[in-house]
Structure 1
C-alpha cells in the first residue's frame, strides 16, 4: 500500500487511505492526557500540534460505522485507497499470496475488479503481478478515470 501511495502522490494526486483493523488498537498510550480523557469517558478526543491533528471517536456501545459513513468524514481528495472492508460493496482489488493458503475471494465476489497475485491465476478478470505496483497503479487510475 505504501508503494502505491508514493506512486500516486508522485503523480501529483492527493490520496487518503482507510484501513480496517480486526483488533483493538490505540493511537495514543496509557499515561498520556488524551488516553486519560478517553478513559474518563470523553466521546471524542481531538489532538493537534503544529504538524498534524487526529480525532479519536470512542464507539462505546455503538456499532462499527459502515465504510460510506467513514468516507464521508474525509476531506475530498483525488483518490482514497481502502485496505480491508472486504464485505463492503465498493470496487476492490484483491491481493493474493499463494503461501497463505487462503481461498481466492474473487471467484465469488463480483465487486473484485482484479487480483494482484504472486502466482498465475485463471480468472475472468485481470490478474496483475503482486509486486508490480506500477501496473496496479495504472489499473486503478484507469478504473477511476484518472489515467
Structure 2
C-alpha cells in the first residue's frame, strides 16, 4: 500500500480535499482507504447500547457488523497508536490517504488558505511536504503549488509521486 498525507492547519480544507481526491482516485480505478487523525476522543457507540456494554465489560476489540459495513473499535488503555500500527490493520488497497499525522514520516501535501491560520506554512519547515494546494498563487515557494480546486492535477501529482501513475486500472 502506498501512503500519502494531506496536512494543514485547522479549517484549511483538508477534509474537503481528501473527499474529492478519494472520488477522483476511485474514478481512475484505484482502490483507496483513508485514515483521519483527530485530537479528541472518538466514539462510534452510545452509552447503554450492546457494543458499548461489551467495551465497558473489558473487551479489547468490538465489531459492529451489518449487511453493508462493519466497524472495528479497539480499546487503547495506553498511548495513542502509531500510524504504522493503524495502517497494518487496513485491508490492502492501492493508496491510503492520511489526513493529519503531520509529524509522521510519509510524504504529504499541505492545504494552505490565506487567513485561515495565523501560523506559518508547514511546507517551509517540513521536508516531507511534496507540494501545496492553495486558494491563491504562492510565488517564490520552491515546491509545486496547485489550485485547491484542481483535483485532477493534484491527484495526478500524488499518483506520480508514489509511482502509481502507470498502474492505472480500468474502471
Pairwise TM-score range, normalised by the shorter structure: over 0.9
- 1:22 equivalenced with 2:39 (yes/no): yes
* Equivalent runs, 1:66-81 vs 2, <5 Å: 66-81=82-97
Q: Report Cα offsets for 1:40-92 as digits up to 9, x if no partner.
A: 222111111111111100102x1111111111111111111000000111101
Note the 1:57-136 alignment, pairs <5 A.
57-60=74-77, 62-101=78-117, 102-121=119-138, 122-136=140-154
Aligned counterparts of 1:33 and 1:93: Cα–Cα separation in 2: 40
Structure with more contact order per residue of length (Cα contacts < 8 Å, sep ≥ 6):
2
TM-align CA RMSD: 1.1
The normalised TM-score by structure 2 is: 0.81
Q: Separation in 2 of the partners of 1:123 and 1:79?
A: 27
> What corresponds to 1:36 in structure 2?
53
| CA distances 1:98-140 after superposition (whole Å, capped 9, x unpaired) | 1213320000000000011112222111011112111111110
Runs of 4+ aligned residues of structure 1 deviating over 3 Å after TM superposition are none
Report how many residues are paired: 146
CA distance in 1, matches of 2:80, 2:68: 29
Q: Which residue does the alignment assign to 2:14? A: none
What is aligned with 1:141? 159
